[in-house]
Amino acid sequence: MEGTNDSFTDHFILVGFSDHPRLERILFMALLIAYLLTLMGNTTIILVSWRDSHPHSPMYFFLTHLSFLDLSFTTSSIPQLLYNLNGHDKTISHVGCTIWLFLFLGLGGVECLLLAVMAYDRFVAVCRPLRYMVTMNPRLCQGLVLVAWGCGVANSFAMSPVTLRLPRYGHLKVDHFLCEMPALIQMACVNPAAIEGISYILAVGIMLSPLVFILVSYGFIVRAVLSIQSSSGRQKAFNTCGSHLTMVSLFYRNIIYMYMQPGTSSSWDQGKFLTPFYNIVTPLINPLIYTLRNKEVKGTLRRLILGNRQSGKVK
């Protein structure tokens, strides 16, 4: 296939850190442990929301969807990454690469928009508390989640085929662990300016626009919190929003680094090194942030644990 003019290849070779086998073994063990903890943490959040009759609130509705997204996001990439790190076989089929890229772009876009939806939920909870349950009714919550999914899938449909159809003339080696869009664009045999421009425009719409909305929402939230006379009320409001804001900062820092800065060689190498971590760190930390900083979630977990213990004693 080398030297042909056909852009299609039946497989790719994910180079990763194949020239540093010891580093690959360390990364494999770290990611395997983190992946198992991520599955356990996010599954716990989903079970808490489903099994307990108390938390039927918009916050729990969005948190359940976020945990499902995190599970899907990590499961779509980490098993392939572990397979790549654990052996000499670095190949991935063209079909596998296509599926992974579609899922990654789609799920990543949905998460960006879902974080913006959750910021709006916190804005209404803090700035319009008396009308919170009326405003954030089930129909609106479901509609906002559907819009987030629709936009994320549309973004993936727009970018995945364009990226995969770039002419590569038999070039098989992807200088990455996964079929990342920047890596696939970099190995193309044409000037990537046009496709990079399109991806930048879509990134502004799917990533930066939600981020701006989140920052504006929290500007209003901070102003409302500072006007609260009671120090306990201010502390409660900050605790309510602190978990979400921490999660937003973790998620956007890595995504913007990878997709919104010029592709210099030094930044590219650093971005490749960060890839295993932004695929696992945010989904791993999210359940910890919500269980440690959110009193409602901690209370629900406590009720479920104590309830199970008491039922066991009765038996």
Sheet holding 91-93, edge to edge: 91-93, 11-14, 173-174
Angle, CA 140 vertex, CA 134 and CA 142 arms, to 5°: 130
In our burial notation (b when 16+ CB lie closer than 10 A, e otherwise), range 168-201 reads beebbebbbbbbbbbbbbebbeeebeebbeebee
The per-residue pLDDT of the chain, averaged, comes to 78
pLDDT per residue as tens digits for the range 179-235: 877 778 777 777 777 777 777 787 778 888 898 999 999 899 888 888 877 777 677
- Backbone φ and ψ for 282, nearest 5 degrees, come out as -65, -50
Residue 124 near residue 218, CB atoms below 8 Å: no
- CA 239/CA 217 separation, integer angstroms: 16
Radius of gyration of the chain (CA): 22
pLDDT value at residue 213:
93
CA quadruple 29, 32, 35, 40: dihedral sign: negative
Q: Between 107 and 291, whose confidence is greater? A: 107
Distance, CA of 280 to CA of 292 (rounded, Å): 19
What is the phi-psi region of residue 169: left when phi exceeds 0, alpha when psi lies from -120 to 50, beta otherwise? left
Domains of the chain: 11-310 (1.20.1070.10)
Per-residue model confidence (pLDDT) at position 241: 75
Residue-level pLDDT at 314: 46
pLDDT of residue 272: 64
- Name all contacts of 29-38 with Cβ < 8 Å and 24+ positions apart: 31/78, 31/81, 31/82, 31/85, 31/276, 31/280, 32/82, 34/280, 34/281, 34/284, 35/74, 35/78, 35/82, 35/280, 37/284, 38/70, 38/71, 38/74, 38/280, 38/283, 38/284, 38/287
Flag whether pLDDT at 143 surpasses 90.
Answer: yes
The pLDDT assigned to 5 comes to 42
Predicted local distance difference test score (pLDDT) of residue 144? 95
Q: How far apart are CA 22 and CA 136, in angstroms?
A: 51
Q: What is the pLDDT of residue 25?
A: 85
Q: Is 153 exposed, middle or buried (0-12, 13-18, 19+ CB in 10 A)?
A: middle
Q: Evaluate if residue 156 carries a pLDDT over 70.
A: yes
What residues pair up with 78 in beta bridges, in sequence order? Answer: none
pLDDT for position 181:
79
Average pLDDT of the segment spanning 166-174: 74
- What pLDDT score was predicted for residue 277? 66
